[in-house]
């Protein structure tokens, strides 16, 4: 019994009690009641559901959206990657469970860049700034609704600081940013 008391927690980090910790997993007691209500059905965002086979359909579209955002931005992928890499420790503190165990540094940063750029580009296109009118995400009626539902899932998030940083880079000195009309 004494050995158990000295055991250091591996999954729930000491930083879980800090205000920076904001993206939690749904408690198992709630998952047992109705697990589908808490699990994304079509797209994974962030580390909790990353790599699940049943969520792979949208993964190729994430890369397409990344290419789209990079085509408009005056900076390259390395700039996005480096900006998020500089924030890696703060990003990890947003998750109470140790994402370090599951994802190494490079994979974690690449996931944040890809998922963050996907969300930014999805909202841009949703606002009507579509350059591809054959985009299946917007042309197949059920896909967009499913993605929007998944983006509201508690475990399916990236920190807002990631979105803010990537969005800032995507428009910082881009000459293709449309002017707001009154």
pTM exceeds 0.85 for this model: no
Q: Tens of pLDDT along 132-182?
A: 788 999 998 899 999 999 999 988 999 999 999 999 999 865 444 454 444
Residue 23 has pLDDT above 60, yes or no: yes
Please say whether the beta carbons of 147 and 44 come within 8 A.
Answer: no
How far does Cα 91 stand from its chain's mean position? 11
Beta carbons of 43 and 58 less than 8 angstroms apart = yes
Cα dihedral 36, 38, 43, 47, rounded to 10, equals -130
CA atoms within 13 A on the CB side of 16: 12
Query: Which run of H or of E encompasses 172?
Result: none
- Measure the CA–CA gap between 22 and 158, rounded to whole angstroms: 10
pLDDT digit string, tens, across residues 103-113: 778 999 999 99
Residue 111: CB atoms within 10 A of its CB come to 21
Nearest to 162 by CA among 85, 57, 61: 85
Question: Of all residues in the chain, what percent carry a pLDDT higher than 70?
Answer: 78
Instruction: State the chain's mean pLDDT as an integer.
Output: 82
CA distance 52 to 64: 19
Mean pLDDT (whole number) for 43-65: 91
**Distance between CA 86 and CA 26 in Å, rounded?**
28
Length of the chain: 182
Q: What is the CA radius of gyration of the chain?
A: 18
């Amino acid at each position: 019994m004494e050995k158990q008391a000295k055991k250091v927690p591996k999954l729930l980090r000491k930083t879980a009690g800090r205000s920076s910790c904001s993206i939690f997993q749904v408690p198992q007691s709630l998952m047992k009641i109705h697990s589908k209500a808490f699990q994304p059905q079509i797209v994974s965002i962030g580390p909790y559901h990353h790599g699940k086979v049943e969520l792979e359909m949208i993964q190729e579209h994430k890369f397409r959206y990344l290419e789209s955002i990079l085509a408009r931005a005056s900076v390259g992928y390395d700039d996005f990657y480096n900006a998020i890499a500089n924030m890696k420790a703060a990003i990890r503190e947003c998750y109470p469970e140790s994402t370090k165990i599951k994802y190494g540094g490079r994979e974690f940063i690449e996931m944040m860049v890809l998922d963050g750029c996907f969300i930014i580009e999805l909202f841009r296109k949703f606002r009507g700034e579509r350059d591809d009118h054959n985009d299946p995400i917007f042309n197949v009626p059920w896909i967009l609704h499913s993605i929007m539902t998944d983006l509201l899932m508690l475990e399916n998030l990236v920190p807002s600081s990631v979105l803010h940083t990537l969005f800032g880079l995507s428009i910082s000195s881009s000459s293709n940013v449309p002017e707001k009309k009154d």
